[in-house]
Structure 1
């Protein structure tokens, strides 16, 4: 959710299981008060807030500490997501999420678990060897500091690169929980727009495997086929370790929560 999504969270709260992790984004067009208020709302409604820390948007160490301090005041620092962020040039001393992790400031403000980014289908601006090195470095730094790590991935449409990437993570000796990103139900045009923005494969074969057609861009799509196929592949590959889902709620918090409840009910 974004800082503007508190009304949407209130609308969806009855459909979301208590304790569910809900990430709160760090957008350039939102301010400190909005981010903290959103994290507080998540906490107050009985969920687990996971505020994003956008390294390249931080102008100074003071700004980082102010953000962490305000989050700690509302009980929202146990879980955070340290991510590089969108700006082409860093606005301060932190060029990437590793540099935030290495400050040692997270524990000072009560952080126990740090989510870090994973990219099963690559990144439009970062080479794969660099992505792997950063993942290894961040995992090692968190382990050294006694912090738990979760790898949270960009959303994907195709299970094949996801499974190959999971195998690559485990081959590198990284045993942290992986949360595979998938979009909640949303308009097909909107999904494809996000895919292009993040450099995610969205060719005809992949979207067919995901479960929608490029000939019907006016419709909506959900992750039913992707989730079912991924579940079956993981069940057949026990070395994948602890793998779960993270939903990107492009179609809204309530629509995603309702989809998840209906999917679970259908499986049982």
Structure 2
């Protein structure tokens, strides 16, 4: 017997929607140096003052990164340039970048990450070694983001990850620098929230920005997940209902954000916001946020 078409999933309840909107307040976005034209097209959809992280890619040079940070500021947003520790070839290279950011007025907020290279290109093997140089505050940095990995890291043990996060939090406090944690994007909201709860249990009070995959083609989304060691294609497909034989659709962050909202407890998780990994879809992500904010709650 044909059961007929499947009923559409119900929309979020008023309480879940309110929690989701709270998480979306002061959301942040990610872009590369080459995304400036996309940012210009999408800027009317993005609230003024939004934090926009500018990645530190190996195939982009200093001037591209500086120009992107200037564009973010020019369009009325808050630039958060990345510093990739293992990609920095020397102390002089780090100082040149920081000096350029200071000259442009775009360097008060940065995100310091370890970076992809298996071997450091210079003297910095991790984010902590950059923070400990004292150069950040010397060049006018006031707020530093660091990375968190709720679903683990393919090349680093959980024990090392927890110790590194605690050390970075302590180092920032010792230098009187503000800070926050930006997590790698994930797909399992329960696991992410459990990780944030453990962050608090370990005495780390830094605000957390949970990495959320923005709208992206499913094939691209899964390729990023595989690259970063986040789950597997099959498990992602099961959880989110994708067909592995038809991966050309678009996966939105709706379910993940609503699952976060259902489980989020300020008393347990502390200050939590959302950071969108756009995968080159800066405009699509901005449109999705605007549309989600405008949707009514179920029963409203």
Bucket of the pairwise TM-score, normalised by the shorter protein: over 0.9
Could you tell me how far apart the structure 2 residues matched to 1:252 and 1:203 are? 21
Q: Aligned residue for 1:232?
A: 262
Highest Rg: 1 or 2?
2
Q: Aligned residue for 2:73?
A: 43
2:92 to 62, 80, 85: 62
Divergent runs of 4+, >4 A: none
CA contact (8 A) 2:87 2:117 kept: yes
Superimposed CA distance per residue, residues 105-149 of structure 1 (whole angstroms, 9 cap, x where no aligned partner): 111111111000000000000001000000000000000100111
1:241 to 270, 283, 292: 270
Pair 1:78-2:103 in alignment: no
Alignment of 1:63-142 (within 5 A): 63-142=93-172
Aligned Cα RMSD in Å? Answer: 1.3
CA contact (8 A) 2:90 2:123 kept: yes
Pair 1:29-2:59 in alignment: yes
Could you tell me how far apart the structure 2 residues matched to 1:204 and 1:22 are? 32
- State the Cα distance separating 1:210 from its structure 2 match: 3.8
Report the count of equivalent residues.
Answer: 267
Q: Aligned residue for 1:164?
A: 194
Could you tell me how far apart the structure 2 residues matched to 1:176 and 1:25 are? 21
Q: Which runs of 5+ in 2 are unaligned?
A: 1-30
CA contact (8 A) 2:222 2:233 kept: no
Superimposed CA distance per residue, residues 13-40 of structure 1 (whole angstroms, 9 cap, x where no aligned partner): 1111100000001111110000000000
Q: Aligned residue for 1:147?
A: 177
Alignment of 1:166-205 (within 5 A): 166-205=196-235
- State the Cα distance separating 1:205 from its structure 2 match: 4.4
- State the Cα distance separating 1:167 from its structure 2 match: 1.2
Aligned with 2:179: secondary structure? strand
Aligned with 1:88: secondary structure? coil
Higher relative contact order (CA 8 A, sep 6+): 2
Q: Aligned residue for 1:266?
A: 295
Aligned with 1:239: secondary structure? helix
Could you tell me how far apart the structure 1 residues matched to 2:245 and 2:262 are? 28
Could you tell me how far apart the structure 1 residues matched to 2:242 and 2:51 are? 28
Q: Aligned residue for 1:20?
A: 50
Aligned with 2:83: secondary structure? strand
Please give the TM-score of this superposition, normalised by the length of structure 1: 0.96
